[in-house]
Amino acid sequence: MPCPHFDIKIVQRSNRQSAVASAAYQSGERLFSEYDQKQKYYSHKSEIVHTEIMLPPHAPPEYADRNTLWNAAEAVEKQWNSQLARRLIIAIPRELPPEQYAGLIRDYCREQFISKGMIADFAIHDKGTGNPHAHILLTMRALDESGRWLPKSRKVYDLDGNGERIRLPSGRWKSHKEDTVDWNDQ
């Protein structure tokens, strides 16, 4: 019996990857990347049977547009090595009737991602060869109540036993980064 396929990767600028290009690939849509000013399109993608963007309640409604969403997600990232999106590829049980694929993935995204504040952009691919699967692209940053992107992490100062900040020999304060959400918790 074959093992179900489940793959998770981070779309990273340092690997010359793009969230806009990833969204264009999985959706089969022609998208324009504002970051590199190039059209992203994969014309050979003919097996796409469904695409959808799911937003949490506080997300701006314009993010229901794939081009707007992924250009906004990339624009907020300023570093050369920024993590732009999380990409999942999930096998769909071939025993499931095709008309149930979207509902299954929609329920999964709602429970696992949308409920935590992520935006999920998914596409279902099925060539009819017994390998139906979903591509899910997720945002890396949370949104505040007014729909603005929040930081991924914050600087936290380390404290000594008396609750005072610890000064390093360099004169700086000892600190560490803390994630603002638990989305990276393995």
Same domain, 27 and 101: yes
Average pLDDT for the chain: 92
> How many structural domains is the chain composed of?
2
Between CA 166 and CA 176, with CA 170 as vertex, the angle to 5 degrees is 50
Same domain, 125 and 54: yes
pTM of the predicted model as reported, rounded to 2 decimal places: 0.87
Q: Is residue 1 a part of any domain in this protein?
A: no
Same domain, 129 and 44: yes
Neighbouring-strand partners of residue 48: 125
Same domain, 133 and 159: no
Domain of 21, in residue numbers: 6-150
> In this predicted model, what pLDDT tens digit does every residue of 152-184 receive, in sequence order?
988 999 999 999 999 999 999 999 988 888 887
Same domain, 107 and 39: yes
Q: Give the SS3 label for residue 58.
A: coil
**Helices first, then strands: H and E counts in the chain:** 3, 9
42: nearest Cα among 65, 22, 12: 22
Q: Which residue has the higher pLDDT, 84 or 2?
A: 84
Same domain, 90 and 137: yes
CATH number at residue 23: 3.30.930.30
Same domain, 85 and 161: no
Token couple for 167: 């000064």
